[in-house]
Amino acid sequence: MLASYAPSVRFETLDDALAALRERGLRISTPRRLVLEALFEAEGPVSAEHLARRLELDVASVYRNLETLERSGLAAHLHLGHGPSLHVLVGRGEREYLYCEGCGAVETLVPDALDRVRAEVRRGFGYEARFTHFPIVGLCPKCAASPPGRR
């Protein structure tokens, strides 16, 4: 139980992901493969702009591919504060983050780390909270300790 929002299928490897795309009748163009590889190699969530620059691809193509990957259940995007959307691979677990508004740090969480928080929201309001699209934002222990530091 504790349904969570884990993907129903897990794509652990690049080949798994490519196979899934082929099964959907999608083609494996060079840009598409590059984007997918870059997501596999990424340390954390990345922006379309970042991928385009790093891979020397047109940003429009990157956006279209990210959308395709998202519709295929291979990738997802999330919002950390202001600025561009960030993209991650789905299927290897880590989909939830804690974002510190003080120092900008992003802490990657293991899959069920927020289950107790979700349970608390469910208990109080009946809402099934998702923290995948809009992660929990706050102040990390260090920033929470330092001077009031508004904003």
Rounded to an integer, what distance in angstroms lies between the CA atom of residue 128 and that of residue 72?
Answer: 23
107 binds, among DNA, a copy of itself, none (CB under 5 to 8 A by kind): a copy of itself
Question: Which of 12, 41, 58, 115 is close enough to bind DNA by CB under 7 A?
Answer: 58
How far is Cα 94 from Cα 114, in angstroms, rounded to an integer?
Answer: 11
Cβ contacts of residue 51 below 8 Å, gap of 6+? Answer: 35, 38, 39, 57, 62, 66, 87
Close Cβ partners of 105 (under 8 Å, ≥ 6 residues apart): 99, 140
Site for DNA in 78-107 (CB under 7 A): 83-85
Contact between 29 and DNA by CB under 7 A: the answer reads yes
- Residue 137, contacted partner among a copy of itself, DNA, none, CB below 5-8 A by kind: a copy of itself
Per CB under 7 A, the list member of 31, 45, 91, 135 interacting with DNA is 31
Structure-token pair, residue 84: 């561009």
Near DNA by CB under 7 A: residue from 6, 42, 54, 64: 64
We find the least distance from the C-beta atom of residue 75 to a copy of itself, in angstroms, to be 14
Q: What is the DSSP letter of 102?
A: T
In a 10 Å sphere around its CB, with 0-12 CB exposed, 13-18 middle and 19+ buried, how is residue 67 labelled? middle
Piece of the chain touching DNA by CB under 7 A; list 5-13, 19-27, 125-133, 140-148: 19-27
* Residue 121, contacted partner among DNA, a copy of itself, none, CB below 5-8 A by kind: a copy of itself
Question: Which residues bind to DNA, rule: CB under 7 A?
Answer: 22, 26-32, 47-49, 57-61, 63-65, 67-68, 83-85
